[in-house]
Structure 1
Amino acid sequence: MSELIRFEKKDDVCDIFVSGEVDLSNSAELRKTILGALKGAHVVTVNLSEVSYIDSSGIAALVEGLQQANSNDKKFSLSHPSNQVKSILELARLDQVFTIK
């Protein structure tokens, strides 16, 4: 596991903590972590409070996680997006698609 992503799993809940920049060079790792968490947990939350930048590949990883959760009757949400991430989500109107805590 890289310094970019860490996670905590308790019972049927998995919290994923992402930090730094999420871009094409590491978004595949985020995708793999999210999809793996959804296989082993019913509730997955991605904490984005420490993300300084996210590009379209990172957003795509989040969207794929949401789609996977929805198709398997699981709960997927984002929490504490940094100001940079929040503005990108709002610009793409994804703040209306994701559950954001």
Structure 2
Amino acid sequence: MEFTCTARQAEQQIVVTVTGEIDLAVYPRLRAEAEIWAGKDADVILDCRQVTFMDSMGVRFLVQVRQMLNDTGHTISLANPSKPVMRVLELAGLRDLFAYTHDEREPATDGAAS
């Protein structure tokens, strides 16, 4: 699955949908996008249901975005995190660092193609 990242503003939140792999190859693009989100007066919801892989650069990205938003008085929540996202956060010991939301209408995937 090719990496995509789209953002839309909904009230006082920015909803960002990420699909594909979050790794070193996409880190610079994702970081540049995050600087835009952090510059807005809104909390961020990062929809991770279609993330098929995440490595340490993905973890680095999430921690950096969390810090950027905290510095402006805003938060980040991970929506519908896929199994690959949760696994790497657990391995890094960072699962409790983030808030999570789940949309019952669209269950989280395990990153496998259906």
TM-score by length of 1: 0.89
Segment of structure 1 superposing worse, 7-16 or 57-66: 7-16
**Cα distance in 1 for residues equivalent to 2:94 and 2:35:** 19
In the alignment, which residue of structure 2 is the partner of 1:16?
16
Please report the RMSD computed on the Cα atoms of aligned residues, expressed in angstroms: 1.5
**Cα distance in 2 for residues equivalent to 1:88 and 1:51:** 12
In the alignment, which residue of structure 1 is the partner of 2:109?
none
How many equivalent pairs are there?
Answer: 100
User: Is the 8 Å Cα contact of residues 22 and 54 (structure 1) preserved in structure 2?
Assistant: yes
In the alignment, which residue of structure 1 is the partner of 2:107?
none
Identity of aligned pairs, percent?
A: 27
Cα shift at 1:35: 2.1
User: Is the 8 Å Cα contact of residues 47 and 78 (structure 1) preserved in structure 2?
Assistant: yes
Cα-to-partner distance string for 1:41-66 (whole Å, 9 max, x where unaligned): 32111111100001111211111000
User: Is the 8 Å Cα contact of residues 13 and 42 (structure 1) preserved in structure 2?
Assistant: yes
Cα shift at 1:3: 5.3
Structure 1 portions without partners, runs of 5+:
none
In the alignment, which residue of structure 2 is the partner of 1:50?
50
In the alignment, which residue of structure 2 is the partner of 1:37?
37
Larger radius of gyration: 2
Runs of at least 4 residues off by over 3 Å: none
Structure 2 portions without partners, runs of 5+:
102-114
Structure 1 residues 1-101: aligned runs within 5 Å: 4-101=4-101
